Structure formats: structure tokens, C-alpha cells
Structure 1
């Protein structure tokens, strides 16, 4: 299967970065396809100053099952130094989202979003190991317990505030941290399962873990 790379660089902002970005995409694809079914995928590379994760200098997005978008801010001082494994981890995270779009989708409820993000985070962990990302470890035990309590009450809510849960400031990245912890506890209790095997798992199968392991 083919990943088709589209470079949006009319501005020239990505000059000098395209080659290492392409190399990272190729490495991430090879590593992911060792544990998943190969798929055809469009990968869009674009520059968008200020619209990245500050400490990385890049960001990813998977709007559909057929595309992932990789956004870079070349003016960010962290951009060039994170085009190796940090970028590869972003790519496989977004790939997991794209593959999940081909099954149950990203999700419309809070619970579904928590599971989708947690699975993608653990997929990167499955492939690369290492410590969790900053957004996956942003809550202490007390913060996780409070977030779990709030999520249990709003699990099926389709009107939840996604920006507040995942990008808010009180605290930041709350949804990512809870989703990562939730999926981690689910996997710990089921050692034969992996994020690659759970790409199309229904979010409902994680709800008991939320109820039974946080407190």
C-alpha cells in the first residue's frame, strides 16, 4: 500500500525540512505496518506558524480515514530538532486515528474521544516505548480521579466541550491524560491485547475500567 505525500510549500517556509520530514514518514510507516494492515493514505505536509504544539514545533491531525495532516512552524525553535522520533510518534498517533476512522470513527461522545486518544497514545508507546508524552502525563493521581469522576458522569454526552477537555487550561490536556491512563489500565488487565489489535474496539468496552480502577 502507498502513502502519498503532498507538500504544501508555496511559501517556501518548509525549504530544508522536507527531506527529514519525508524520512520520518517512511520510518513511521514501516514501523506501523509491522503490526497493522497496510493502507493507502494521503499525508499532507504544511507550514502554519503558531498552530503547533509549542515544545515540539509540529502537530498532527487525522480528519478522515484517508488522510493525516502534519503541520510545522519552522520559526519555532523546537521544530528542526524534533523531526526524528518525536515526529514519528506524532505520525503513528495520527495513523491510529485514521485507521479508527475506518471502523467506529473518532467518536461523538466524551467517552469515545477519551478511548480514541488513549488508544492512539498507547499505539505510539507500543511502537516506540519511552515515557508518555507531556499531555499524557499532565495529571497527578488526584487530578486523574477527579477527571474520571467527571467523565463517568458525562461519558455518553455528545455535547461535551472537546476544547475544554483536551486543550483547556484548567488543567491543560485533561482528556489526553485521562484517556491515556484509562487505556493503560485496560491493557494492564488484558496482557494479550495491544493498541494495534484494538483499533476498532468499541469505547463501551472501556467503561468498566473507568468505573473499577479510578477512585
Structure 2
């Protein structure tokens, strides 16, 4: 039987007053995900790290393996309280899709693979919540999308790509370019492949998406 073990790093009490809401959000995201995908076991690490979060949310997620996700929160962030509902649940769902993909082809070592992994995780949230793109999934203008897509096609197979530049704007590209580009690419794939979903595509090779970039 699949189980999620949630570990609260709360020796200093920084999560006091929030644990119940966090637990409810994790449980809701898990429930929705298991309606469309195979249940898996994993560890969920919940920690507080002030300043190391997405500012417009007050939290951030990370899935480094196929057995664990890390949820980092900053309750002192001005946007934290208002986002501790569905936005928090969508973060959990996003990271869960990464965990599941790690068990198949992996997150990816090339730019193309990373774009696909992020695009699929974004559309997994949309599948579960019928939600609009997150701010980082709609950060590019039409002109920027075209320019970034052209550059991504040239670097699709590059293992030496700069992840921080493509996804966090630490370089010459717009901030969140990779997230937005991946989201658009997967959207185009889904438009041309009826019956497919982010859940059903969790193990799909990245190459299948390249023509839709």
C-alpha cells in the first residue's frame, strides 16, 4: 500500500499554527493526483527557510529523486498566508509529477528534457485543478517566446546548458523562460494528441515534444 511520510522540520516551532493546513493541502493534492495516476510511496520534507522561496507565493518545492519531495516555506513572506490554499496544493502536485517522472526517464540532463519535465508538471496541475498557468508559466511575451524557442531548438540536446539562466533568469534570458516555454510546448502537444494528459505522459520521452517547440 502506498504511503506518504511527511516529516516536519520544526524543532524551533517555525511551523506552529500551520501544520494542520499544510497537512490538509498535501492530502488534497495527493487525493486528486491518485484519481488520475498510480499511487506511489514517498517522503515529504517540510521545512522553513526564510528568503529562499518564490516571493509571490511564500514557498517553493523541489523533487531531487523519485522517492522524495522537499517543500520549503517562509511564513514571514507577505504572500504566504493568502497562498496557503490551492496554490500550495498545486505546488505539491507539481513536485509529485517530478517525483513520478524521476521513476521513469528522469527529470533530465539536457535542456530539452528539463523543458519537458517542467511543462508536464505544470500541465499536471492544470489537469487536477483546471487552473490557469502560474506566473512563471506565463512570463514571456509572444516575441520572447519565439526568440527563446529558436534558441532552445539549437540547444535541445545540450547537457551543458545553464539551468539557472533558462529557468531563473540568471543570465541573458528572461526570468522563468524555461518554465513558460515548456508549458507552451506541452500545451501544443496536447492540442494535437487527443486523449493524452500530463498524467498519462509521465514517462513519455522528451523527443516526442520537440516538434511542438
State TM-score, norm by structure 2.
Answer: 0.97
Secondary structure, counterpart of 1:90 in structure 2: helix
The 5 A counterparts of 1:1-215 are 1-168=2-169, 170-210=173-213
Runs (4 or more) in structure 1 with deviation over 4 Å come to none
Provide the aligned C-alpha RMSD in A: 0.8
Secondary structure, counterpart of 1:59 in structure 2: strand
Q: CA deviation at 1:78?
A: 1.1
Q: What is the alpha-carbon distance in structure 2 between the residues aligned to residue 172 and residue 37 of structure 1?
A: 34
Secondary structure, counterpart of 1:131 in structure 2: coil
Q: How many residues in Structure 1 have an aligned counterpart in Structure 2? A: 210
Q: What is the alpha-carbon distance in structure 2 between the residues aligned to residue 83 and residue 198 of structure 1?
A: 28
Secondary structure, counterpart of 1:182 in structure 2: helix
| Preserved CA contact (<8 Å) 2:125 2:131 | no
State TM-score, norm by structure 1.
Answer: 0.96
Unpaired runs of 5+ residues, structure 2, are none
Bigger mean CA offset, 31-40 vs 72-81: 72-81
Q: Which residue of 2 aligns with 1:213?
A: none
Unpaired runs of 5+ residues, structure 1, are 211-215
